[in-house]
Every structure is written in C-alpha cells, then in structure tokens.
Amino acid sequence: MQFLEIEFLKFGCFTDTRLDLGPGGPRLHVIHGPNEAGKSTALRGLTDFLYGIPNRSTDNFLHKNSELRIGARLLDDAGHQQRFVRRKGNKDTLLNAEGKPVDEGRLQGLLKGVTREVFEKEFRLDHPLMVQGGQDLAEGQGDLASSLFQAGAGVLGVRRLLQELEEEAERLFKPRGSNQELHRAIELWKERQARRKEATFLASEWKALHQQVEQKTQERRLLTEQHAALATERQRLQRFQQALRLVTGYREKQAALAALPQRRLVPSAAREARARTLQDRNEAQRQIAEARQRQDRRQQDLALLPASEGVLAHQAEIEALQRQLGSYDIAARDLGPLQQELVDGQADTRSRLERLSETLSVEEAARLKPTAAQRAMLERLLRARYELDTRLEGIETQRRQLELKVRQLEAELATSTGLPDPLPLRSLLKRFAAVGNLAHEQAQVERELLQLDRRLQGGLNQLLPWRGTADDLEFLPVPSTETLDAFDAEDRNLASQRQRIDRDVRQRQAEIEDAEQQLQQLAAQGVVPTEADLAAARDRRDQLWSGLRPPLTGEAPERPGGVEITSRLSEFERAIDESDELADRLRREADRVARQATLQANRDRLARESNRLQAEQQSLALAEQQLAARWQACWSECGFAPRSPAEMRSWLTHFRTLQQFAQQQADGRVKQSDLATRLDQQRQQLEAELLSLGEAVPPARTVPQLIEYGTGVAERLETRHNSRDNAQRQLQQFSGDLDHLHQAENQLRQKQQEWLGEWGSFVQSFPVATENPEDLRTLFTTLDAVATGVANQESLRQRIEDIRRHLDEVSREARRLAQAMAPALGAETPARIAQELNARVAQAERAAGQQKQLQQDLTEAREQFATAEGRLNQSNAELDQLARQAGCANQEELALLESESEQVEHWRRELDSLRTELSHSAAGQELDEFIAEVSALDPDQLPVRLDQLQRQVQELDERRTILSQELGRLEGELQRQTTGGQAAEAEQEARGALAAIRPLAEQYARLRLAQGLLRRHLEAYRQKTQDPVLQRATTLFARLTNGAFRGIKNDFDEKDRPILKGVRNGGDEVEIAGLSAGTRDQLFLALRLASLERQLAAAARVPLIVDDILINFDDHRSQATLAVLAEFAKQTQVLFFTHHPRLVDLARDAIPADQLVVHEFHH
C-alpha cells in the first residue's frame, strides 16, 4: 500500500492543504517544512486517517470536531487506486470520494491486519525513539535477545522490565534471605503455631480455679454492699452539713420580714410605669430647650442672606454664552494660522508654475490637469518601455553566456574520444556485491573458528570429572534433561524431608530438655506430691488397718505382750497423718501439682514423637541410598562418577553448549573452504576484466582491494562517459537556445520602434515637447499639485470668513448681557464677561438654596417645640395620677413608698432562693421536715461522724481493690485455660498469618512466572531471527557508519550470555557501552531496518514514517542513512519528515534524482 496523495481538508492548523506524493514508484519522499509548519500535526493526521480520529483529539482548535476531515488517495498492491476521507465521529467515520460511509474493512484490508499500536511502534521512527533505543542497548549491555526484540517489535525498556520484575520478586522472597515480606510472614506463622501448641490445660486446674473465682466473687459482692451502705450514710450527713448554713439564713430572713410594719406596697408594674413617665418628662424638657435655640439661629441666618431673583432671571442666557465661548476661543486661535496658510499656498502655487512655464497662469494650469485616461496612457507607455529595455538587456546577457559555454563544450568534446566501455566491469562488480563481502565473511568465519576453538579447549577443562576431546562430545551417552530433572526433583524432595525431620527432631529434643529442666526446678523447690503418692499412702494406711482391725475388733486373738499392737498402732497413725498430709498438700499446692503433671505428660508425648521421627530418619536414609545407586547407574556408561543432580545440571548445560560449539566449528570449516574457492574465482574474473580495459593490475592485492580498485576504475570511466554525454546534450541544447535568442532580439527591436511612434503622438497633446518619459511624469505631477493647491486655497478663504462671522456674533451677545446685568463690564472681553456673570449666577443659586433650607429648618423647629411641650404636660398629669392611685399626697411620698416596696420584694426573692437550694439538699424529703431535722443536729458532732465514715469507706476500698486484683488474676488464668480462650485465639492468629502468606506467595509466583515467560519469549525470538536479522544488520550498520565499522557480531559475556558487539574497520571489537550515543542510534536503526525488511517479506507493505531521526548524525553518516532509506523505499514507501533544510541538500547529493522527491510543506 502507498500514499499517492494526502489532503488535510480540515485538521489542526490545516485547511485544504494537499501533499502530492506523485504516481508512486520506489522513491524516497523528503517532506521539509520550517518550525510551526505543521509537521507534528501532519504526522498525527496520517495515523488518524488510517485508524480514526480519537474522541479527545487536540486538533480541533481551528475547526470544530464535526468538521474535521482528512483525505487520501491510496495505491494497493494490485495497482488499483482508491480514495477515502476520514471524519471525526463515533461510527461510519470512513467515507468514499462521494462522501458516503464505507466499510472500515476496505481500508483495513489494505493494511493486512496491521493495528494502530503495531503501526506506531514498528512503522514510525522518530528521534526520541532512536535515543531511547540506543540507551536501552547500552543499559542492556548489548544483550542479544532483548536487543533484537526491542528493535524488531518496537517495544523498548525490556531489560528494565526484567530488572524490575527481579527486584520486586526479591523484595518478597529470597531463598537465603530473612528480612523479606514472605520470610517475615512465615516466621510470624511459625510463632503463632508455637503459641497455639502452648495453649493447653488440665481439667483439675480449671475446676480449682473456677472454685477460687466463685469464692472471691462472693467476697467482693459483700464488700461492695457494705461500701454502698456506708457511702449512702456519708452522703446523707454531707447534705445535712451543707444545709446548716442555708437553714440559718432562711430563719433570719423570715424573722426580718415578720418585723416589718403592715403597709400597702407599690406593685413593680406601677414602679416601672412611673420610671418611664419620669424619663418621658425629662426628654420633653430637653427637646423644648433645643427647639427654642434652633428657631433663634435659623431666623438670624435668614436675615443675613442676599437677594438673588434678578440674577437668576438671565441664567439660561449666561449658560448659552458660556457654551459658545469654547468654539469662540478655538476660532480666535485658528484664525491667524489659517490666514498664513492661505498666503503660503498661493506663493507655492505661483512658484511651481514659474518653474514649469513663465506664461502659464494659475487658472490655465488648473484647467490642464491630466485626465484619468491620460494618466493610464502614460503609465502603460512607461511600463512598456521598461519591459522592452529589460528584456533586451536580459537577452543580450544570455546570448553572451551561451556563446561562451558553446566554445567551452566544443573544446571539452575535442579531448574525449576513444573511451573504453565500463559496463562489463560494472556488471561484474554488481555480481560480486550481490553475493556480499566474501573476504569479510571469510575473516569473520576464521575469527569465529578461532574463538570456538578457544571456547572448546577452555570448556573441556570445565567438564571435570569427565576427560575427553571435542570429537568425543557428540557420542558421549549423557542422561537427558528430563531424567536429570526427575532425579533433581526427587533429590530435592528427599533433602526437604530430611531437613524437615532433622528440624523436628532438634525441636523435640529441645522441648524435652526444657520440660526436664522445668521438672528439676520444681523438684528443687521441694518434692511435689502426686495423685499416685496419695494413692500409695492410702493403700499403705489401708493395709495397716487391715492388719490391726481383727485384733482390735476381736476377730483374731491378740498376741501376748501388746508391744506389737502398740507399734502397729503408731505406724498406722503415722500412715494416716502421711496420707492426710499428702491430701492437704495436693490442695495447698494444686498449682505445682498441676504444673508437674502437665510437664510430665508433655515430656512423655515429646519422647514418643522423637522416636517416631528417628524411625522416619532411618527410612529416609534408605531411600537416599537407593536414589544414589540409581543416579550412579545412569552415568555408568560415561566413565566417571557424577556429582549431585543439582551440580550436574550446570555440567550438562555446559556440555550441551560445547556440543553446539563443536557442531558450529565443523560447519564453519566447510564454509571456510567454500569461501576460499569463491574468492579465487572472483580474483581471476576481476583481473581479466581490468586487463581488457587496458588497466594495469596492482600486484599483491586482496580481493576486497581489487574490488575497490575496480570500482574506482569503473567510476572514473563512467564519470568520463557521463561528462561526454552531458557535454553533447548541452551543446545541442545551447545551439538551439542561441537561435531562439537571436529571433527574440529582432522582435524586441521592432517593438521598440513601434513604441517611439506611439510616444511621439501622445506627447503632442501637452505644452511641453520632450522625448524623456520622466519629464512628462514631472509635468503631470506639477499640474496635479497646482489644481490641488487652488482648491485648498478656496476652502481656506471660506473657512476664514466663517470664523470672523462667528467671533462677531459671540462678542455682540456678551456685551448685551453685560449691559443688562453689569454695565461696568461692557468694555471687557466676552470671556471675562461670561466668567463674571457665571460667578454671580452661582452665588445667587447658593443663596436661594440656603434660604429654602433655613425656612424648612425653622418650620421643623417650631413643630418640635409644640410636640415637646405637649409631652411635658402629659407626663406631669400621669405622675399625679400614679401618686393618687398609691394613696400618696404628692410625688415625693410616692418615691419613699416605692423604696420600701423594693426592699420587701428583695427579701422575699432571697427566701425563695434559699427554699430552692434546700429542696435540692433535701433530695426528695419534705422541706419543712428536712429543715426541722437539720436544725435538730449538733453542729460540733457532725464532722466527727463524717471523718469516721470516711475512714471506714477507705478501708473497704483498699480491701476491695486487693480482692479485685486477685480475682482478675484468677479470672485471667481461668480464661486462658477455658476452651475457646487462648487456644482458639492462637489458632485464629495462626490462620490469619497463613492467610497473609497466601497472597504474597501468589504474587511471588506471578512475578517469577512473568519473568520466566518474558525471558523464554526473548530467547525464542532471538533463535528465530538471529541469523537473518544480524546478517542484514551487519551490512546496514557498516553503511550507516560510513565504513567506520565493518558490522556487528554476536559474542558471549563473562556469564556466557549471548551479546552484541560492534566491529571497527580495523577489526577491533567494541562492546555496546563503548559506542558513542550517535553510533548506538545507528546500531539501533540498523537492527530496526533489518527486522522491518524481514517483516515486509511476509506481511503488508505499510508505509514507513520517519521523523527527523538524523539529529545526532554528522553529515557523512546522514548522507549514508538517507541513501539506505532510499534503497529501503524500493520495498515499501518511505516518508521522511524534517525541519532542517541541510538534510534536504544532503539528500539531493546522496540520492539519484530519479529516486528522490522533495516536498516543501507548510500550512
């Protein structure tokens, strides 16, 4: 598929911008445009046309989203043309030439399944991608697999991704680590498991603890009840103590109220009404005084104001005069300059006419002003004269130049006769180039053979304990990788089991030793009684009783003397005491007894588990011996004793690698012999062809040197042939051009004579006779200036008359107003008159306004005085009425009665407050009963009783605290030994720790799986593409570096991993990190182009878009790269975008004209 034409109809900064890429064909398209020309927009537009404009496109700043359109005319692989238009939308965005929607599959069919992501990664090259690609090559230290994958798939950062996966996995878990997340989670799980095992108990311990808890709980309940009774009594006495002061105050207030005389009191509402009335009367008196003063001041101000009625009658006329003064001043200022301008214009017009003609008047000159037709005629004649002179001068110059070139070409052709034909030599060299650089390939094969030999010799020394030669590698019957994997898995499984069993054995031994140590510690504190001891003591007591009972009960005769009976009775009593003592100790030392029983039971259980683990160890040892025998049998035919499967894995991998090296060495020797034969054939053919051309064959030259020499001979002969052919073509072309120039010169001479005749006829119409066109142009200019000057002077005279008339009108009006209002101003200027009259008008307006305001204030003051006087009379009447209602003779007696009433109400409020406080202290008791009870108390004995109660409460608090602590300890111990207590909690914690392990382990497995899959894919890609891609990339790298490097090769680093190296022209090998940044960019480009060539051979031929990738390249390597891209354009269309005109010049120098198209691009 190729682009024949791209149309940015409405997209980004473009409107109807067209890029014509021609009729197709293998040509490199260099598209140049300055900054801001829209290169980046065009690159986005190409991709958007193929795959659709995104919903959030940023190219809608000039055109609306609904208007965005990109069109293109395409050429498919069958040679058919198709035109599409892409619009922005959600569906049916692909249109045909008529604007109708078409199936998206028609365009995608041309792309052969290349998606947008693949297109942008594989068929787009730009400078950031080149830089990043070079950096990735350096960071990967030339790793072959990642380098090929990144260049071929366009996916960068593979090495960084592998490193990040490794770091993330090691953050979770390391086989020999201890502080990673998964390690910590496993240790936590082990700790929780140990706690769960420790959370065990005995039924006897639980029963004893339960009884103690119930006993302590009952004791604490009794203490709590006693504490509550004492606290209640203490609170009651404290309330009585607080109420003593309140009761005393209450009785005193009651006595004071009873001692007052019985009089009628003034209610509070009446007192408040009298206070408001007094306040109104005082306010009315103040307002009366204020209103009287205000009336006096306003009357004085009115008497001082001047009269203003006469001045205000002429106010409108004075304002009109003031408005006219603005134009009056302007007119007076402009009159003098206008008069002077009129005089100067008349003088200038006369001066112009005197220079033109002494007899021509101003009026005649104005009538002779040129018409538009005459002006057009003059301009046409002047342009025709200029064109004739310019063309004649150009033709004469061209004729002289062509005559000189013809003479030079004739001399050059005379010296170039009898040249030999270089075509056979060039054909031979092309055949040699088609098969590649055989000498370079031979040298590379020899180096590879030498390197393989060194590796084989060094590798054989590392295959101990086996000793053999490289020839023996192919026939050594080593086990397969699958067999080794099976043995290794079985060995690891047995080792894991042994490690687990050994760990468990050590743990059981440690636990047994710990139990023995704890039992010894218990024994050191004193012998711990057991149920068995008690049972044995009771059995002995019973046996003694069985022996004593018959004699004592008369069932058997007593032996003589009674000594034995007495002794046996004493022994029986001791047995009873001993059994009772043991029983008492079992109760007293229940904790120690239970602990000893638990330790002994754990010790016995651990001993049984230890015996079982030792049996498992013996079984495991037998399985390991059997595995070792089978492992030795697998290697018996190899003639040496193998190491462990894990160790033999690396041995077997190294062995396989050496087998490959041996096979490569054999293939290389065959290839070496074939290359030597082909090089001898090339030498013979090249020497024969050079001799046929008459060229001496240089002695002792290698085949590449002979090819280089022959290439120089062919280029020299081709250059001479091309120069001769070009000279003949140019001589023929220049001769024809001279004939055409002679004919054109004669035609122009004839047109020159015709122009002179037409000019003479035109000049006769004017009073000046001249053959110089510039004189006539000067005449036209002068006549135009005279006509314009006459018109301007007439306009000035009219304007001066208008100004004078306006000045007279304003002066008359000003004197009239002055005569009417101020005759003394009659001799002043209009401006002075207007100023004075305006001042008098302003003064009159201020006086009128002040008079109006003073009259209004005077009226308000009189109204205020009348209102205040009425309020004063009303207040006095209300006060007298209040005194009569209270039964007082006057207002003074009423004031005394109000004071007594306020005192009584104050004491009553205090009594109410005291009753409220006493009600709170009574706590629900009848108030009078409470007051009587408090009054009956002895104030001196009350504090003593309170101190006594306080001490009793404190004693109970201390006892209850001690009891609560003991109860808490017992309850905690009981909770620990209760089913569902610590054991269940420990089990839950262990499950939680195990749940935390699971996601970490899954994450670790995912990371390792992703890392392994990526490495496997990289290695598969390397094995698949290594040989064809590296071979082509070697040739491209040599060309891109302009011969500074021969190419690239695959090698191995110190860890035996395949890597890339650059090979300089002198044969030195350079690691990727040692290359310059620009050279790394060129290496990445070589790998990328080689991979693309391989893909194009089997996929769609999608255009390659290149965007300014030569920023870090010098001119020579830039030219080499452009030539490579031009050759690449033979396989698929290449569009090279750039901002730099220098690259355009380099492309023209490096690429033949028939293989290059340059487009100047701008919006």
Which tokens belong to 816?
């009239």
State the average pLDDT over residues 545-572.
66
pLDDT of residue 410: 80
Q: CA–CA separation, 466 vs 642, rounded Å?
A: 9
Q: Which amino acid is at 811?
A: S
Handedness of CA 817, 823, 827, 829 (dihedral sign): negative
Residue 471 lies in a domain: yes
One domain, residues 485 and 497: yes
The pLDDT assigned to 511 comes to: 85
Q: Which of 742, 816, 1045 is nearest to 314 (CA)?
A: 816
CB atoms within 10 A of CB 973: 17
Mark whether 604 and 500 lie in a shared domain: yes
- Asked whether 862 and 291 are in contact (CB, 8 A), the reply is yes
Residue 1008 pLDDT > 60, yes or no? yes
Measured distance CA(478)–CA(649) in Å, rounded: 11
**Using CA atoms, how far apart are residues 874 and 890, in angstroms rounded to an integer?**
17
User: How many whole angstroms separate alpha carbon 950 and alpha carbon 942?
Assistant: 13
**Is pLDDT above 80 for 233?**
no
Largest CA distance in the chain: 203
- What is the per-residue DSSP string for 602-631? HHHHHHHHHHHHHHHHHHHHHHHHHHHHHH
Q: Given this model, what pLDDT does residue 1121 score?
A: 92
Considering the domain boundaries, does residue 144 fall inside one? no
Tokens linked to 828: 């002043």
Domain assignment present for residue 609? The answer is yes
465 prior amide bond cis, ω within 30? yes
Q: Are residues 456 and 589 in the same domain?
A: no
Mean pLDDT over residues 102-119, rounded?
Answer: 84
Domain that holds residue 657: 425-476+645-692
* 364 pLDDT above the threshold of 70: no
Which residues have a Cβ under 8 Å from the Cβ of 1025 and sit 6 or more positions away? 148, 152, 1091, 1094
Residue 502 covered by a domain: yes
Using one digit for the tens of pLDDT, what is the confidence trace for 946-980?
788 888 888 888 887 887 777 777 777 666 655 44
Q: State mean pLDDT over 242-261.
A: 73
Q: pLDDT value at position 1025?
A: 59
Residue 533, in any domain of the structure: yes
Mean pLDDT of 568-596: 76
Please tell me what DSSP assigns to residue 1102. Answer: P
Q: Are residues 519 and 601 part of one domain? A: yes
Per DSSP, the three-state class of 73 is: strand
Please say whether the beta carbons of 28 and 1151 come within 8 A: yes
In a domain, 78, yes or no: no
For residue 125, what is the enclosing H or E element?
strand 124-126
Within-domain flag for 486: yes
Q: Same structural domain for residues 584 and 521?
A: yes
| Residue 676 bridge partners (DSSP) | none
- Shared domain for 513 and 612, answered yes or no, is yes
Half-sphere exposure of 617 (CA within 13 A, CB side): 14
- pLDDT for the residue numbered 934: 75
Average pLDDT over residues 491-500: 87
pTM: 0.36
Burial (0-12, 13-18, 19+ Cβ within 10 Å), 87: buried
Is 11 strand, coil or helix?
A: strand
How confident is the model at residue 162, as a pLDDT? 66
Q: What is the mean pLDDT of residues 96-112?
A: 86
- For 271, other C-beta atoms within 10 Å of its C-beta total 21
CA atoms within 13 A on the CB side of 183: 12
Average pLDDT over residues 330-337: 79
Q: Which of 370, 645, 596 is nearest to 492 (CA)?
A: 645
Mean pLDDT, rounded, of the chain:
78
Contact (Cβ atoms closer than 8 angstroms) between residue 567 and residue 584: no
Q: Are 662 and 473 in contact (CB under 8 A)?
A: yes
DSSP string computed for 469-538 = -GGGGGG--PPPHHHHHHHHHHHHHHHHHHHHHHHHHHHHHHHHHHHHHHHHHHHHT-PPP-HHHHHHHH
| Residues 32 and 1141: beta-carbon distance below 8 Å | yes
Q: Are 1128 and 1098 in contact (CB under 8 A)?
A: no
> What pLDDT digit, counting tens, does each position of 501-517 carry?
888 888 888 888 888 88
pLDDT tens for 1089-1137 read 888 887 776 666 788 999 888 888 888 889 899 999 998 888 888 999 9
413, 444: one domain: no
Local structure of 176: helix, strand or coil: coil
Model confidence pLDDT, tens digit, residues 618-632:
888 898 888 888 888
Q: Which amino acid type is present at position 202?
A: L
Q: DSSP for 1062-1097, please give it.
A: EEETTS-EEEGGGS-HHHHHHHHHHHHHHHHHHHHT
Pinpoint the alpha helices (H) of 525-644: 531-553, 563-588, 590-634
Q: Does one domain contain both 680 and 621?
A: no
Bridge-based pairing of strands 28-32 and 1156-1160 is parallel
Please check whether residues 568 and 621 belong to one and the same domain: yes
Measured from the Cβ of residue 308, the count of other Cβ atoms closer than 10 Å reads: 19
Q: Report d(CA 411, CA 572) in Å as an integer.
A: 159
Is pLDDT of 85 > 90? Answer: yes
Residue 990 in domain = no
Burial class for 292, CB neighbours closer than 10 Å (0-12, 13-18, 19+): middle
Q: Hey, is 770 helix, strand or coil?
A: coil
Residue 337 confidence class, pLDDT cut points 50, 70, 90: confident
Q: What is the 3-state secondary structure (H, E, C) of 334-363?
A: HHHHHHHHHHHHHHHHHHHHHHHCCCCCHH
* The domain boundary residue, chosen from 735, 763, 791: 763
Do 596 and 492 have their domain in common? Answer: yes
> How far separated are the first and last CA of the chain, in Å rounded?
26
Q: Determine the pLDDT at residue 561.
A: 46
- 1051 with 1069: CB under 8 angstroms? yes
Give kind and range of the element (H or E) at residue 83.
strand 81-87
Phi and psi based region of residue 1044 (left: phi greater than 0; alpha: psi -120 to 50; beta: remaining) = alpha
The one-letter amino acid at 11: F
Q: At a CB cut-off of 8 Å and minimum separation 6, what does 122 contact? A: 152, 153, 154, 1092, 1095
Give the 3-state secondary structure of residue 979.
Answer: coil
- Amino acid (1-letter code) at residue 895: A
Local structure of 696: helix, strand or coil: coil
Q: Give the whole-angstrom CA distance, residue 1105 versus residue 339.
A: 77
Q: How many CA atoms lie within 13 A of 50 on its CB side?
A: 26
Per-residue pLDDT band for 484 (boundaries 50, 70, 90) equals confident
Strand 1069-1071 to 1058-1064 pairing: antiparallel
Q: How many CA atoms are closer than 13 Å to the CA of 289, on its beta-carbon side? A: 5
Same domain? 568 vs 670: no
Q: Which pLDDT belongs to residue 1106?
A: 92
Residue 81, CB-side half-sphere exposure with 13 Å CA sphere: 10
Helix (H) or strand (E) holding 1159: strand 1156-1160
Cβ-based neighbour number of residue 104 at 10 Å: 14
Last residue of a domain, one of 654, 671, 692: 692
By three-state DSSP, how is residue 124 classified?
strand
pLDDT reading at 357 higher than 70: no
Burial class (CB in 10 A: 0-12, 13-18, 19+), 668: buried
Residue 148 has pLDDT above 60, yes or no: no
Within a 10 A sphere around the Cβ of 351, how many other Cβ atoms?
A: 10
Strands 94-95 and 81-87: antiparallel
696: tokens are: 């001496």
Question: Which region holds residue 87: left if phi is over 0, alpha if psi is between -120 and 50, else beta?
Answer: beta
- What's the total number of domains in the chain? 3
**Residues 502 and 621 both lie in one domain:** yes
